Amino acid sequence: MEQRLTLQQKLLQKLSPQQIQVIKLLEIPTVQLEQRIKKELEENPVLEIESDNMEVVDDTTPQDSEQEKDIDNDEFSFDDYYAEDEDIPSYKLNAKNYSKDDKYIDIPFSVGTTFHEFLQEQLGLLSLSDEEKQLAEYIIGNIDDDGYLRRDLLSISDDLAFNMNLDVPEEKLLKILLDIQQFDPPGVGARSLQECLLIQLKRKNNDELKLAIKIVEDFFPEFTKKHYSKIQSKLELTEAQLKEAIDHILKLNPKPGSSYSNPLNKANQHIVPDFILDNIDGELNLTLNQRNVPNLIINESYLGMLRALGESHKQKKQNNKEALQFVKQKLDSAKWFIDAIQQRQTTLLLTMSEIINFQKEYFQDGDESKLKPMILKDIAERINLDISTVSRVSNSKYIQTHFGIYPLKYFFSEGMQKDDGEEVSTREIKKILKECIEAEDKHKPLTDEKLASILKEKSYNIARRTVAKYREQLNIPVARLRKEL
């Protein structure tokens, strides 16, 4: 093949480093922004937090003040980053740099045990050989947080053969597993929901539970699908007997691991709102939550250092070339980061202000029926931004209002027209569906067709499959699974 040199012109659209930085900062919530700023402050010595310097009257002489000023200005000196043949004293390299006379007290910190540690503690109550204890610990390590052993014993046997060079038959693993299933909480170590319920029922050792045990053992598929009439006819039970047995089963815990709660290990997720909306005498006031986000400025000493290094570079002093490049790079990075933070704040306020203007009636009192249909495109067109930008703003962001804290995605919903031509939000339809299902007769729950007919009576002309879609979005099961005795 003949090789040729050709000249070709191309028009490419590429994002600048600052644009990429703005995009990344735009999509993170306030909590992550605080961590990102702390990281940037650690990595870039040119950045510093703006502080309100208050004048303090003291008895120091002007000479002392000048000396303190010189010390403050030399806090970030070039010698910290560029020094040749620096002889570092050994004590600066010592991690435990304290006197032998210093009293060191190790303060104990009490931490509760985890779910798996709780099982390990109970393992010590069994009389097992070293090998059996090792196998039991391996099985406990495969139990998930819900308390189930999701892996079959054959796979665990294969893992033991490959990883620990132990040839253990399934029968031996099953024997150890049965011992673990006697641990607390009841039902731990079960391999299925059916086995979990049976372990809990048999643990109670009550004659009144014989019928409940038989239903779980022999009619579990019918029980899960709520085919109560089939169970009643096959066992020749009265409705009262069946209801009593079903009530016993429904009181069991399907996730035994979740019942083990340790307040010291409980991880509570706190929502930090990104916006704060106040209603002052009917006027809505929107502010960004900047409580823990500091104002960043550039250290003036580095600007003077850059000018000094620039003059040295003009005088052909090559030794300062690397230092000049380092300081200039850090200064540019600091300016980009400060501009990116400011642009993020501007974009967030612009987008959220337009959302509030669009849903002004709703934000006055929080009445969900006043929520208008709104999609990302509606806001993007109003503020002349791309849909992806609005999507990044609304992702993982929260707003604190006078009627609660809500994610921004809550305010976006599709719309449909009623028979009279009025356009309403699908959220309003879902609210009506939820109210109808909550008020239904649980002995005869409403089917999707019946729900569709109820909505048509209220001028919401939607199909049955649309009702089924909204019901699934609300995590509501079908009518058969909502039936109660």
- Per-residue pLDDT tens digits for 194-252: 999 999 998 887 878 889 999 999 999 988 888 888 888 888 888 888 888 899 998 89
Contact 375, 57 (CB under 8 A): no
What CA–CA distance (Å, rounded) separates 394 from 375?
A: 11
Instruction: Decide if 16 is inside a domain.
Output: no
Sign of the torsion angle spanned by Cα atoms 446, 447, 451, 453: negative
Domains contained in the chain, number: 3
Q: Is residue 42 part of a domain?
A: no
Please report the pLDDT score of residue 22 as a whole number.
Answer: 76
Q: Is the same domain home to 419 and 378?
A: no
Give me the count of residues in the chain: 485
Residue at a domain's end among 231, 259, 287:
259
- Strand residues in 176-328 grouped as ranges (E): 275-280, 283-288, 296-298
Residue 194 maps to a domain:
yes
Q: Which two tokens stand for residue 369?
A: 């029926």
Tell me which residue range forms the domain holding 399: 275-297+325-411
Least confident of 10-14, 17-21, 53-57, 226-230: 53-57
Q: Are 379 and 348 in contact (CB under 8 A)?
A: no
Q: What share of the chain has pLDDT > 90, as a percent?
A: 11
Indicate whether 319 belongs to any domain.
Answer: no
Q: Are 148 and 196 in contact (CB under 8 A)?
A: yes
Predicted structure pTM score: 0.58
Residues 406 and 439 in one domain: no
Alpha-carbon gap, residue 400 to 30, rounded angstroms: 13
Same domain, 343 and 403: yes
Residue 360 lies in a domain: yes
- Tell me which H or E stretch contains 48: strand 47-49
Residue 417's H or E segment, with its range, is strand 415-417
Q: Which residues contact 340 (CB under 8 A, 6 or more apart)?
A: 18, 21, 22, 25
254 in the same domain as 133: yes
CA 146 to chain CA mean position, Å:
19
CA torsion, ordered 466, 468, 474, 477, to nearest 10 deg: 180
379 neighbors 365 (Cβ within 8 angstroms): no
Bridge partners, 296 (sequence order):
49
Q: Does 41 map to a domain?
A: no
Residues 397 and 434 in one domain: no
Domain boundary residue, one of 356, 386, 411: 411
pLDDT at 19 over 60: yes
Q: Is the dihedral of CA 330, 332, 333, 339 positive or negative?
A: positive
pLDDT, tens digit (0-9, with 9 covering 90-100), for 421-476:
667 778 778 888 888 888 888 888 888 888 888 888 888 888 888 888 888 888 88
Q: Among 407, 409, 415, which residue's Cα sits nearest to residue 372? A: 415
> In Å, how far from its chain's centre is CA 144?
20
DSSP state, 148? B
